[in-house]
Structure formats: C-alpha cells, structure tokens
Amino acid sequence: MIFVGFGFLMVFLQRYGFSSVGFTFLLAAFALQWSTLVQGFFHSFHHGHIYVGVESMINADFCAGAVLISFGAVLGKTGPVQLLLMALLEVVMFGVNEFVLLSLLGVRDAGGSMTIHTFGAYFGLVFSRVLYRPQLEKSKHRQGSVYHSDLFAMIGTIFLWIFWPSFNSAPTSLGDVQHRTALNTYYSLTASTLSTFALSALVSGDGRLDMVHIQNAALAGGVVVGTSGEMMLTPFGALTAGFLAGTISTLGYKFLTPILESKFKVEDTCGVHNLHGMPGVLGAFLGVLVAGLATHEAYGDGLENVFPLIAKGQRSAKSQAVYQLFGLSVTLVFAFVGGSLGGFLLRFPYLDSPSDSQCYEDQIYWEVPGQHEPEAQTPLNVEESDTRA
Amino acid sequence: MIFVGFGFLMVFLQRYGFSSVGFTFLLAAFALQWSTLVQGFFHSFHHGHIYVGVESMINADFCAGAVLISFGAVLGKTGPVQLLLMALLEVVMFGVNEFVLLSLLGVRDAGGSMTIHTFGAYFGLVFSRVLYRPQLEKSKHRQGSVYHSDLFAMIGTIFLWIFWPSFNSAPTSLGDVQHRTALNTYYSLTASTLSTFALSALVSGDGRLDMVHIQNAALAGGVVVGTSGEMMLTPFGALTAGFLAGTISTLGYKFLTPILESKFKVEDTCGVHNLHGMPGVLGAFLGVLVAGLATHEAYGDGLENVFPLIAKGQRSAKSQAVYQLFGLSVTLVFAFVGGSLGGFLLRFPYLDSPSDSQCYEDQIYWEVPGQHEPEAQTPLNVEESDTRA
Amino acid sequence: MIFVGFGFLMVFLQRYGFSSVGFTFLLAAFALQWSTLVQGFFHSFHHGHIYVGVESMINADFCAGAVLISFGAVLGKTGPVQLLLMALLEVVMFGVNEFVLLSLLGVRDAGGSMTIHTFGAYFGLVFSRVLYRPQLEKSKHRQGSVYHSDLFAMIGTIFLWIFWPSFNSAPTSLGDVQHRTALNTYYSLTASTLSTFALSALVSGDGRLDMVHIQNAALAGGVVVGTSGEMMLTPFGALTAGFLAGTISTLGYKFLTPILESKFKVEDTCGVHNLHGMPGVLGAFLGVLVAGLATHEAYGDGLENVFPLIAKGQRSAKSQAVYQLFGLSVTLVFAFVGGSLGGFLLRFPYLDSPSDSQCYEDQIYWEVPGQHEPEAQTPLNVEESDTRA
C-alpha cells in the first residue's frame, strides 16, 4: 500500500492537490482489489480458488504502482470515472504482461524496471497521446506549482526515497539477495540524487536548481536498478547506474518533455517519461547486461535464488540475457497496445473528463473550501497572486 | 507511537493546526506513560513490580489511540489542561474496560473495534455532549478548512491507511494469524475507500466529492475489522465489511452529524462518530457473527491462537459469540459512564477552555507567528501578516 | 536513510523550505556515499576491499545524521557547495572519532549521544562561530516561521518521534538489548514531550506555547538516551532523563540561544545546541553513570552484549565509566578541531554563500515558482488571497 506515497509526489500542481492525492487513493484502492483477482487468476488459481497471502498483497501493490505511474502522465486532464476505466484495462494488461515475462519467459524483474516502470510509463504516455487536447493551453496558467505545493510534493519524494530500498527488495528471496537488493538500491539512489543536483544547476542557465528535477529525478536511481538490484551489480555498478539515471532524467525534464509535447503531442503532466520511462528502459538494458555476465563463481549457492534456470543448467547466462531483452520488447508492445486501446475507448468527452479550460482544476470534482460556485468569478484568483507574487 | 499519525488527520481546521498536532502530541505522551502504569497494574503486576516489554508498549499505544479519538470529538473546544484531565480519567476507564473484556470475559478484540474505537468514540461524544456550548456558533466561521489544511489532513489519512494493517495485526500471535489480520484489514480498507468515493459523489447533489469524507470514511474499513480481522473473515467478508463501513461512515458525515448537533446537542468536531463510533459498533457485531461461526475445521490448529477457550473446550462458538456481544455492551456502559463523569467534572469554565467565540483558534494557546494580539481584526488576516512578517 | 526526516524539521523558515529539504537531501546522499567509504576503510577493510552490508548502511546513515545536525546550525547562511565541502571534512572527522571511541577505547554509544549528537552539534556550532556574519540582521526579517511552515516542520517532528526508538535500537545486538533500547527511548521521549509542554508554557510569560519548543525539545528525550538506552537504565531512569532533556532543551531555546548569539557570536539557526548539543552531553554523562553502576547480577548473560570488555573481565565497571567520560572529551575535541578547520577553510565568500541580506532565502539557489526577480515587491503576498478566498 506503500505506493500511495506517489500521491504526494503529484501534489505539486497549484490547484490540483485534492485530485492528485484523492484520485491516487481511489485508483490504488481499486487497482489493489482488481489486480488481486487478475494476478490471482494467473498465479495462484487452483481448484477453482484463488489463494492469497502476503505475496499477492505485494504483487497487487506493484500493479497499483504501474497504474499510478500512468495516472501521472494524464494528471489533470482526466476525470475519476475515466481513470477507473483506464485502471480496469491496465490492471489486466499488467497481469498478462507480468505473467508472460516472469512465468512464461523466465525473465527476472524483482523491482519492476520493466513490468512496473516501463510498462506504466509507456501505457500512460500512449494513453495521453491518444487523448491529446490541442486547446490545452487554455488551462496552462494552472499547470505550474506554488511554493507550498512544491513542499507537499517533497513529502512524497522523501517518503519514496526512504522506502525504495524496501520496495525493490520486498519480492526477492529472503536473506542475502534481499540485503543485496536493498544495498544496490540505496547506492543507486544516492548517486542519482547527486547527479540530479549537479545537472539541474548546470542546465538552468543561471546556476539555480529546479524543484521539479529534485522531486523526481532524484528517485530515478530506484527505478534503474529495479531489474538488476537483486543481481551482482556491485556497489560501483549501482552508483554508475544511479548517476546515469539521474542524469538522463534531469535532461529529460529540461529538454525532452517540451519536445514531446510540441512535436509529438504527448503531454506528460508529471514527466513520467523522465522518472519511469527512460530510467525503466535503461534498467532493463542493465538487467540484460548483468544477467549476461552471470557466472556460477560470482553467485555461488545464491545463483538458484536469482537465476534458477541458469542454476539448473536449463539456460546459459547469454540466453538469459536474450530473454531479458525480449521481455523488454514484450513489455513495450503490451504498453503501446494497452495505452492505445485505453485511449481510443476513453477518448470521447462523454465521460467525466474536464473541458479544455478546466484542466488541472480541483473544483470540477471537489467541493473546495471557500469556493461554493464552480468557476465563480475568476476562481483562481486564489493562487494567482500567489504565483504572481 | 504510531497513533500520533491521528494528529495530522485533525489538522484540517483552518486556524487550529498547531493545537491539533501539538495537543495530540501532548495527550499521546501523557497517555502512553499513564496507561503503561494503569495497564501494567492490571496485566503484569507481580510481587510489587510492573513488568514492561514490547507488548506493554503496544497496549499503551492502543490506549493512547482511544484518548486521541475522544480528543477528536471535542477538538477546538477544550484547553490542554482540560484534555490532560480527561486523559487521566479515560486511561483508567480504558484499562478497566479492557481488563474486563479481555481478561475476565475472554472476549477477542485484537484491533480494538470495541476497546479502542467504540470506547474512544462514545467516551468522547458523551464528554462533548456534557460540555455542550449553546453559543458555539460564535466560532462557526473558524470551523471549516482551507485548501492547504485539507492537504495536511490527507497526510494523516494516507499515513494511517498505509499502517493500519500493521496496527490491527501488531497484537495478534505471530505467523498465520498476523498475516490473516493484515490481509483482512487491507481488503477492508480498499473496499471502504471505494465506497466512500462512490457515496460522497452520490450524496453531494452536484456529483462533486467532499474532502472530509475521503479523509475519514476511507479509513473506516480499518476500524470495522478490528475485532474480526484475526478471525476467518475471508476476503469476501472483509470486502463486504469495508464496503459497509465506508458507506455508513460517509452517510453519517452527510446526514447524521448535523442532526446529532442540532437535535442531540452533540458537537462532534472531527466526526469521530462516523469514523470510529458506528464502524466500531458494526465491527463488534461482525466479531459476534464470525466468532459464532467458528469451527475446529475452519481454523485447524490455529484455533488455539484465536479462540483459546473454544480450543480448550471451555466454551462453544455460540457462547463465545454471546460473550462478544456482552463485551460490546460493557464497553458502551464504560464509555457512557466515563464520558459523563469526565464531562461533569470538567465542564465548568474554571479550567483553560476557550470562550465561546474563541473556539477553533490556535492563538489562545500558541504564539502564532506574525500575530501578537489575540483576535486582532478578522481572524483570518492571520496569514497575511504571517507571510509579511 | 531515515535521517532525511530531519529535512522537514528544518522547513520552519518562511522562505527557506526548498533549501532546507533540498540541501538535506543533497547532503544526505553525499554523506551516505562518502561515509560508506570512510567508515568502510576503518571498520571493514580487508585485503584491499571494503566489505559492505546492512551494518555499513546503518553506520553511514548515522554519519549522515551528524552532518545534518551541523547543517542545522548554519541553515540559511551557507550555499550548497560550501555545505558539501563541510560534509567532506565532517564525514572524515566523524569516522575518525567513531573509530577512536568504539574500536580503540571500547566506549559504548549505540544511539550516538556522543558520536552523532554531541559531535554533530558542536562541529556545527564551531563552524557557525567561525563563519559569523556581523551584518546578519539584514536578513532577520526572513528568519521567522509562518503558520504553514511550522506545520510542515511538525511533520518532521512526528516522523522522528515515531521512529526514534528504532534509530537508537538499530545498531544494538538483537533480542533483549534491542527491546530494552526501544523501551528506554520510548519512555524518555514521552517524558521530554511532557516537560517541554510544561516548560514552554511556564517560560512564555503569558502561558502560551511556543511551536519551536514543541518541534524540537520534545525530541530531546531520544538524544539523551543515545548512550545509555541499551544499558540497564530502568524505566524510571529513562523518564527522568527525558524529563531533564526536555527541560534543558526548552530553557536553552528560551534563554541560551539569544545569549549565544549576542555574547558569543554563535548564530544557531535551528537551535541544534538545545536539541543535540546539551542533551547529547547530558546523555554522555548518563552513560558514564549507568556504565559505572553495571554489575554481573543486573545484566546476567546479557552483559556480554552491552559491555563485552567487562564480561570478559578485561575492565571493571568503574574503568568503563572512565573510558566513557574520556570518550566524551575526545568527541568534543574532534568536534571543535573539525568545526574550526572547516570554518577557516570555508569562511571566505569566494564560495556560493549568500550575501548578508540574502540569507534564509530560497531564490538565491532555486527557481521559485512565480518569482523570477529576486525580492520583487512584497514577495509573500502569496497566502493573502488564498485564505480570504
């Protein structure tokens, strides 16, 4: 349930705090239930019963994580019913993709660089692309943050940063592997935090830092070791991976996000492409590399816990690497198909999506204290002077 | 100590954030110490010494939880000295009630639907009734929330939501029972969250959501399985319980709270009747039902951990159910007697309670930055000079 | 990584929230990496390799804690590069001091009253003294808090309060000792919280509470049992220690901090002398006392886990007490030498430190939303229309 922490990461929008944290809550509650069923059907369906336990709880949590990542791409432009329908489809696609990767292909992805982050990000981005609104600039003035909303978002960042070593190591086998995963994640996060600060100052022009980069790119180190965290990545490898992840993530926020929007019509509200998409794909490639280098000497008796098929002699390290790469391709295909399908089914404004001029605005969906008529006067005078100040 | 998370749930009031979180802290620190003594006297007093351990820490924490629930009913209308005296009495009543239920009657109530939630809520409500102020509307303008105070309160909600499975399972026996309790709580919380969103939109008239419902009723699923969480509730049972709890809680906020105030003169600031009172009683009934259905077949060897008296053959499932029901009655009696007693002893304004026009106002008790004279001009200028300071 | 919680404790400044939490993040990420190397070199360097594990992670976390404490003393008056250079030096000094105390002198200091709190506080205070700015009053108007920044800081307080029993017990040996440490910390924290409330009201003149006291002094109970928490302190001892710690800490904020600034030219932004300095030294003395009273009878078989040298007969309880006292002296020497050295190396304004009139101001280092020109108009109009809306 820890993924609800994502909710606060999205509170940065000046007029969308209730929806960010509220719909996170709604989506998580729905996805946790629905994915317990879907994943139970794939993984623990015996004699007409689904068996549940702590493991199914962790799996459902990870699936909810992917849904919340996709939510980040369309934040502010969709209504709660639309989001629930998106989750309805995404949970199924997630379950199928995870089943294909982990059970059919024997791919390793404990912390979900592929199954959670790559899948969630590209599902959301394609979904956002299909729902593209040419008139979105009518809501542009509400898209920024204000001082306190940025501080709220930092609560989410710190919460996720502290608990990320636990996320990545939760589904691994106990003992050595779990400790190794936690340590690799820890090193990678510290490195991505440093590279984010350095890059943010470097690319800003005037040497000042951008809160958006810190809030997000500092976490990219957790994403990038999602696949390889349980493997013999070594501390040096984890630091390098984290450094790269923080770097591409920050550069993505600065240079790629505007291009994605202007050229490719992909409006990515939270920049999930930078925090989950690119670092997820990088993490998948890192997994290919580290799996391909696996030897009996390096892992000893622990090989069985990380690469059971190699330990049993059914697969060489090289072929495991090929399977990892194939797993990434499968994930991207499922994400694109799922996101397109979801987008086309839900793109018409017959649902509860806000109009072009009402995006990023809480009072469409919430009774906001102190404001009884929707859009009465300039409803946003509120924070306007705020940002003008 | 985790119950301090309640503090943030109460921060929703626009001008009472310091007091909400500060007095939570004060009451928790006092109740933890005092209940270690009181409960130690009942449960682990041997040869003139009280024995303490992790278990006594958890027990004290649960007692502090009950005190904080009662605080929620009178939030904004009482001073810290008055609250400490209330806690002085309530901790004793809590200890006696818990001793009668768990030790004398052999009632099961691991997560405290009765001992914590029902007791805390009705103690607080009766206490609030006795302290009823006919002139409270003088402070009405300060009773609402503002945008950021609602976001702060959501921090409390999310914190409690994430940790509730751990609360309910903390005092159960290790292993299977603990896992079952966590899973049941988890399913119930997801269901109450969904039903809260649905009901909140349904009852609002214009389809918009009310942040107060989400902040509170979404947690009712944790309360309702406090008794039956360790039992063979089944996932379906947990989901149903959570759904009902979220529903009655939301309906309570919408329809019952105004009636309680206007007709019964019970002013319930945080709506503890909706989050703890009704779901607690419902949880107690659910415990009666599930205990009455207990069989050796369903629990196997685990029966001894959940119903030791049934396992030893000293009691039938049916008679356990009767004892559970009797436990609820005892709890309600102790809560009403305790709350009345507390109210009558503390109702005179000789203590530090605020005057009718100064309720829900921090600066009576706190040096609020930027405001040196209490009640200077319109009370909400507050933030003006605040920020200018 | 849990020490990042300190970040929020420092968010109380009205215009320095981004820097408080951002630079905490930056310093923690850097210190965690650098101290893994430095401490690895001292404690687990074998055959040319540093061995890492969960223990080295906890050690690095504690070192980062000391760096963040020092940061609290100079908060608002230093730039990020200057802080990183401070951390570069401080981590080395911390590592040497810890090695001398724990490995060479056989001093016990599980929760770090000496190695973390005393060291971090006096390093920071001496550093701040050397960097003293006579013209700092030019930034005085930004040194206070505002309503919401104080609430943000309380998030840090509550987070640290809840997790402090885990901090202090993390590095102790498992089982009994760990439980005892957690319980002692818990009792001490509850006592310091109560004494803080009482003293804060007593010293205020008008009976009102000061949020600064609650945010900080309530935590002094965790600091004061850092050394003796794992020892046979007894609940009564822990309560007394906490009571004293909360008392001196509150009195320190009220009376000592202004004197330190006006007479001794030590400007201590967060009051680390009150929360970490004095309670840390008090905790070290408490350790001397409790160690000196250690007997085989009181500890039984557990003596080996707490005082291995006494258990092996290599040291008497009295001589252990002397070593503890000597450990405090060594820590103070290292802190003074380190802080002075750091201050002299970094005191010239050639680095990125803000000018005298730009202290406690985010926009020197951050792109603050809605504010493109530093200090345009009254920058803080912000909340005005907000609350009125």
Please report the pLDDT score of residue A1 as a whole number.
67
Amino acid, res. A144: G
Percent of chain A beyond pLDDT 90? 65
Q: Please, which residues bridge with residue A13 across strands?
A: A145
Give mean pLDDT, residues B113-126: 97
* Whether the predicted pLDDT of B155 surpasses 90: no
Top-confidence residue, B247 or A350: B247
Least confident of A372-386, C56-70, C177-191: A372-386
Q: CB-based contacts of B246: which residues, under 8 Å, 6+ apart?
A: B191, B192, B193, B194, B195, B196, B199, B217, B218, B220, B221
Residue C358 within a domain: no
Give mean pLDDT, residues A215-229: 95
* Whether the predicted pLDDT of B385 surpasses 80: no
Please report the pLDDT score of residue B135 as a whole number.
85
DSSP 8-state class, residue B50: E
Point out the residue among C14, C147, C211 whose CB comes nearest to the CB of B382: C147
Mutation target vs A (from B149, B161, B167, B193; most A CBs, 10 A cutoff): B193
B282 burial (CB, 10 Å; 0-12 / 13-18 / 19+) is: buried
Please report the pLDDT score of residue A385 as a whole number.
36
3-class DSSP state of A49: strand
Please report the pLDDT score of residue B152 as a whole number.
87
A53 burial (CB, 10 Å; 0-12 / 13-18 / 19+) is: middle
* Whether the predicted pLDDT of B384 surpasses 50: no
Give chain A's mean pLDDT.
89
> How far is it, in rounded angstroms, from Cα C73 to Cα C342?
14
**Which residue is closest to A367 within chain B, CA to CA?**
B210
Q: What are the structure tokens assigned to A323, written together? A: 């399977």
Which of A364, A366, A370 lies closest to A139, judged by CA?
A364
CA C8 to chain A, closest CA, distance in angstroms equals: 8
Contacts of A146 in chain C (CB under 8 A): 369-370, 382
Overall residue count recorded for chain A in this entry: 389
Please report the pLDDT score of residue C388 as a whole number.
33
> How far is it, in rounded angstroms, from Cα B44 to Cα B61?
16
Please report the pLDDT score of residue B372 as a whole number.
41
Give chain B's mean pLDDT.
89
Q: What are the structure tokens assigned to B196, written together? A: 């809260």
Which of B138, B144, B79 lies closest to B358, judged by CA?
B138
Please report the pLDDT score of residue B292 as a whole number.
95
pLDDT one-digit tens code per residue, B1-13 = 667 777 778 888 8
Please report the pLDDT score of residue B329 as a whole number.
97
Question: Do residues B254 and B290 touch, judged by C-beta distance below 8 A?
Answer: no
CB contact under 8 A, B383 and C381: no
* Interface subset of B 240-299, CB within 8 angstroms of C: none
Range among B212-221, C131-140, C154-163 rated most confident: B212-221
3-class DSSP state of A42: helix
Point out the residue among C2, C18, C389 whose CB comes nearest to the CB of A211: C18
The complex's ipTM works out to 0.89
CA A369 to chain B, closest CA, distance in angstroms equals: 6
Question: Do residues C275 and C249 touch, judged by C-beta distance below 8 A?
Answer: yes
Residue C204 within a domain: yes
> How far is it, in rounded angstroms, from Cα A212 to Cα A257?
12
DSSP string across A56-113: HHHHHHHHHHHHHHHHHHHTTSS-HHHHHHHHHHHHHHHHHHHIIIIIIS----TT-I
Please report the pLDDT score of residue A388 as a whole number.
33
Strands C45-46 vs C49-50: parallel, antiparallel or unpaired: antiparallel
Please report the pLDDT score of residue B301 as a whole number.
87
pLDDT one-digit tens code per residue, C79-114 = 999 999 999 999 999 999 999 999 999 999 999 999
Q: Please, which residues bridge with residue C209 across strands?
A: B366
pLDDT one-digit tens code per residue, B283-312 = 999 999 999 999 999 998 889 999 999 999
Give mean pLDDT, residues B205-215: 91
Residue B81 within a domain: yes
Which of C258, C143, C264, C154 lies closest to C203, judged by CA?
C258
* Whether the predicted pLDDT of C269 surpasses 80: yes
Mutation target vs B (from C14, C140, C151, C375; most B CBs, 10 A cutoff): C151
- What is the CB neighbour count within 10 angstroms for residue A294? 22
Residue B367 within a domain: no
Mutation target vs B (from A13, A366, A381, A383; most B CBs, 10 A cutoff): A366
> How far is it, in rounded angstroms, from Cα C149 to Cα C136?
22
pLDDT one-digit tens code per residue, A17-63 = 999 999 999 999 999 999 999 998 888 888 888 888 888 888 999 99
Give the CATH number of the domain where residue B294 resides: 1.10.3430.10
Residue A89 belongs to domain spanning? 1-346
Percent of chain C beyond pLDDT 90? 65
Question: Do residues B371 and B357 touch, judged by C-beta distance below 8 A?
Answer: no
Indicate the angle between helix axes C119-130 and C80-98, nearest 10 degrees. Answer: 140
CA A166 to chain B, closest CA, distance in angstroms equals: 14
Planar angle of CA B15, B16, B17, nearest 5 degrees: 105
- What is the CB neighbour count within 10 angstroms for residue A206? 6
DSSP 8-state class, residue A50: E
Point out the residue among B189, B190, B209 whose CB comes nearest to the CB of A365: B209
Range among C189-198, C353-362, C376-385 rated most confident: C189-198
Q: CB-based contacts of C382: which residues, under 8 Å, 6+ apart?
A: A146, A147, A385, A386, A389, B387
The band of A350, judged by pLDDT with boundaries at 50, 70 and 90, is: low
Q: Where are the beta strands (DSSP E) in chain B?
A: 45-46, 49-50
Please report the pLDDT score of residue A389 as a whole number.
31
Alpha-carbon dihedral angle through residues A177, A179, A180, A185, given to the nearest 10 degrees: 120
Question: Do residues A37 and A51 touch, judged by C-beta distance below 8 A?
Answer: no
Question: Do residues A380 and C386 touch, judged by C-beta distance below 8 A?
Answer: no
Containing H/E element for B74? helix B54-74
> How far is it, in rounded angstroms, from Cα C363 to Cα C368?
6
The band of A349, judged by pLDDT with boundaries at 50, 70 and 90, is: low
Buried b / exposed e over A148-186, threshold 16 CB at 10 Å, is: bbbbbbbbbbbbbbbbbbebbbbbbbeebbbbbbbbbbb
Which of C153, C124, C112, C170 lies closest to C27, judged by CA?
C124
Please report the pLDDT score of residue B244 as a whole number.
97
C317 lies within 8 A of chain B by CB: no
- What is the CB neighbour count within 10 angstroms for residue C134? 7
* Whether the predicted pLDDT of A135 surpasses 90: no
CA distances from B317 to A276, B231, B234, B301 (A): 52, 12, 17, 16
Residue B169 within a domain: yes
Please report the pLDDT score of residue B334 as a whole number.
97
SS (H, E, C) chain C: CHHHHHHHHHHHECCCHHHHHHHHHHHHHHHHHHHHHHHHHHHCEECCEECCCHHHHHHHHHHHHHHHHHHHHHCCCCCHHHHHHHHHHHHHHHHHHHHHHHHHCCCCCCCCHHHHHHHHHHHHHHHHHHCCCCCHHHHHHHCCECHHHHHHHHHHHHHHHHHHHHHHHCCCCCCHHHHHHHHHHHHHHHHHHHHHHHHHHHHCCCCCECHHHHHHHCCHHHHHCCCCCCCCCHHHHHHHHHHHHHHHHHHHHHHHHHHHHHHHCCCCCCCHHHHHHHHHHHHHHHHHHHHHCCCHHHHHHHHHHHCHHHHCCCCCHHHHHHHHHHHHHHHHHHHHHHHHHHHHHHCCCCCCCCCHHHCCCHHHCECCCCCCCCCCCCCCCCHHHHHHC
- What is the CB neighbour count within 10 angstroms for residue B348? 9
pLDDT one-digit tens code per residue, B65-115 = 999 999 999 999 999 999 999 999 999 999 999 999 999 999 999 999 999
> How far is it, in rounded angstroms, from Cα C368 to Cα B61?
41
Residue A386 within a domain: no
CA B191 to chain centre: 19
> How far is it, in rounded angstroms, from Cα C168 to Cα C170?
6
* Whether the predicted pLDDT of A383 surpasses 60: no
* Interface subset of C 44-63, CB within 8 angstroms of A: 52-54, 57
> How far is it, in rounded angstroms, from Cα B53 to Cα B59?
10
Point out the residue among A1, A17, A32 whose CB comes nearest to the CB of B151: A17
Number of structural domains in chain A: 1
CB contact under 8 A, C161 and B389: no
Buried b / exposed e over B174-204, threshold 16 CB at 10 Å, is: eebbbbbbbbbbbbbbbbbbbbbbbbbbeee
* Interface subset of B 150-209, CB within 8 angstroms of C: 152, 155
CB contact under 8 A, A389 and C370: yes
CA A31 to chain B, closest CA, distance in angstroms equals: 9
Please report the pLDDT score of residue C213 as a whole number.
94
CB contact under 8 A, C146 and B384: no
CA C208 to chain A, closest CA, distance in angstroms equals: 27
Please report the pLDDT score of residue C378 as a whole number.
36
> How far is it, in rounded angstroms, from Cα A191 to Cα A183?
12
pLDDT one-digit tens code per residue, C15-53 = 899 999 999 999 999 999 999 999 988 888 888 888 888
* Whether the predicted pLDDT of C254 surpasses 50: yes
Top-confidence residue, C163 or C5: C163
Residue A360 within a domain: no
Residue B149 within a domain: yes
Please report the pLDDT score of residue C380 as a whole number.
34
Which of A323, A297, A153, A328 lies closest to A226, judged by CA?
A328
Planar angle of CA A310, A314, A320, nearest 5 degrees: 50
The band of B386, judged by pLDDT with boundaries at 50, 70 and 90, is: very low
Q: What are the structure tokens assigned to B321, written together? A: 């159910």
Give chain C's mean pLDDT.
89
CB contact under 8 A, B22 and C211: yes
- For chain C, the chains sharing at least 3 beta-carbon pairs closer than 8 angstroms are A, B
Chain A with chain C: Cβ pairs closer than 8 A: 130
